[in-house]
Amino acid sequence: MDDAGPKSPPATAQRAAKAPPCTMVIFGAGGDLTRRLLIPAVYNLAKDKLLSDNFAIIAADRTPKPPEAYRDTLAQGVRSFVSDTASGGETEPFDAKTWEFIAARITHFAGDFTVAETYARLGDLLKTTEAQFHTGGNVLFYLAVAPQLFGTIVDRLGAAGLAQETANTWRRVIIQKPFGSDLASARALNARILKSLDERQIYRMDHFLGKETVQNIMALRFSNAIFEPLWNRDHIDHVQITAAETVGVERRANFYEVTGALRDMVPNHVFQLLSLTAMESPNSFAADAVRNEKTKVLEAIRPLDFEDVRRNVVRGQYGPGHINGVPVQGYRAEPGVDPHSRTETLVALQLEIDNWRWAGVPFYLRTGKRMARRTTEIAIQFKKPPFALFRDTPVDILNPNVLILQIQPDEGISLQFGAKVPGPRLKLGTVQMDFRYKDYFHIEPSTGYETLVYDCMIGDAMLFNRADGVEAGWAVVQPILDLWGEDKSVPLEFYAAGTTGPAGADNLLWRSGRYWRPLAPASEPGR
């Protein structure tokens, strides 16, 4: 909304200090993640002068590649990122000088990640790289590999002595999600990697935590006195968290068939949003202070028994439909998918948090593919005011106040409230006050990985998951996995692609007189 006063100039973030010297070893450097996200993130860090001059990359892959051809492939990935993130029809120029800085520091390394000999050679290369680029013996290992290799790589790093730190050097490991496939496997993986690493060396990544609005949830709550006093069961009716995609399974059928929407999204992405929304104020923004409070939220979620799962959890699968007016096939017709598959592509659930702040406030969560619109948002719906205040007037329905935290695609915050419609009669209308990051702050195109890679380099683990937090998330969903695995009669509801999901998801709210926030028809492709 516009105001009558002069507008403040766009604010810019305070420039952070350069990261310390280090070598970044990327396992799985031939994969899509490295080309599309990691190397563009490193490029952005270099462009922002946040990388040390004493920085190097060892790109580790199973298959040997000619060094120059490999660097050219990575350069194409950066150029595509720069082009794809252009706004307003104006392309951000590719910074050749920045790319030269990165390219000159990339060494391709080939080897089988399961054998000891590979790590002996890697150790020799690390010594050579340290001597050439003066990286100080600091190493960041990034595991951009299939989850089944996480434990093996950490085992081999430990056995080769490559995870060992000294008084003046550090060794850290970033592990991508999914971290385990259920509670037992997550516990086993934690126990396994902790044999070779200390907890402080482990950075379990959820890339959602690199998004500005996710980080801003804490700033919104704890730096604004107008919000925190209302952030409780006395004022909030319920909370909705939605992570909707318009894309289908694409070429990931082998992964998705054994994973599904629940494992893929809920214990990590969705629970990160829930814990940041519901957590108590930490005593500082130190990593463990924040992670302590987030874990307490997950541990306070009321445990589900099988009857709770049947009543409060809905699983759906998309069928044929239309996205942006284009017909798309159903999940069972996707390449590589079992034509009788019971894998869920959507899950919706109602949870309760048993603590003083949230007792009696339902949290409604939904995430799915091939839905009506791509959006990730948190909606805080406040209780309605007493209708008696408007007796003897035409006003008989009051819309609730809603605070919406938009995570993607257009990061921002909006507040919905009632106001009188101009005119002689008392008539209330609903208005919305919007804040968009791109309108107020100067935001450079980013992959979302920049903050997380930089934080690992400087040793700040606040945005990364700790072992107990990972296990607490899996503990919440384990009864759902158990029932779905044991009882084949649990219904799988179908919904047409391009819609808001199955009727069962709506019924979670309808039965208490509530409604999901609407998803407008799809207006853009992608996730």
Does 260 share its domain with 165? no
The pLDDT, as a whole number, for residue 439 is 77
State the virtual CA torsion across 37, 463, 258, 188 in degrees, nearest 10.
130
Residue 219 has pLDDT above 90, yes or no: no
The reply to whether 308 falls in a domain is yes
More confident position, 428 or 312: 312
Name the residue with higher pLDDT: 113 or 251: 113
Nearest to 218 by CA among 137, 139, 140, 289: 289
Average pLDDT over residues 518-523: 62
What's the domain count of the chain?
Answer: 2
Residues annotated as part of the active site: 269
pLDDT at 479 over 70: yes
Residue 477 is assigned to a structural domain of this protein? yes
Query: What is the domain extent for residue 284?
Result: 209-387+466-510
Please calculate the CA angle 9-13-18 and round it to the nearest 5 degrees.
150
Domain stops at, among 124, 151, 176 = 176
Pair (256, 158) in one structural domain: no
Per-residue confidence at 85, pLDDT binned at 50, 70, 90? low
Tell me what percent of the residues of the chain surpass a pLDDT of 90: 71
Same domain, 269 and 343: yes
- Report the CATH number that the domain containing residue 500 is assigned in CATH: 3.30.360.10
Question: Are residue 171 and residue 297 in the same domain, yes or no?
Answer: no
What percent of the chain clears pLDDT 70, i.e. is strictly above it? 88
Q: What is the pLDDT of residues 128-155, one digit of tens each?
A: 999 999 999 999 999 999 999 999 999 9
- Distance CA(450)–CA(42), nearest Å, equals 7
**Order of strands across the sheet that contains 375-382:** 428-436, 412-420, 402-408, 375-382, 236-244, 362-368, 346-352, 313-319, 493-496
| Confidence (pLDDT) at 198 | 97
Whether the pLDDT of residue 251 is over 50: the answer is: yes
Q: How confident is the model at residue 90 (pLDDT cuts 50, 70, 90)?
A: very low
Residue 494 has pLDDT above 60, yes or no: yes
Question: Is pLDDT above 90 for 112?
Answer: yes
Q: What is the pLDDT of residue 170?
A: 97
> One-letter amino acid identity for 266?
V
Question: Residue 25 has what pLDDT?
Answer: 98
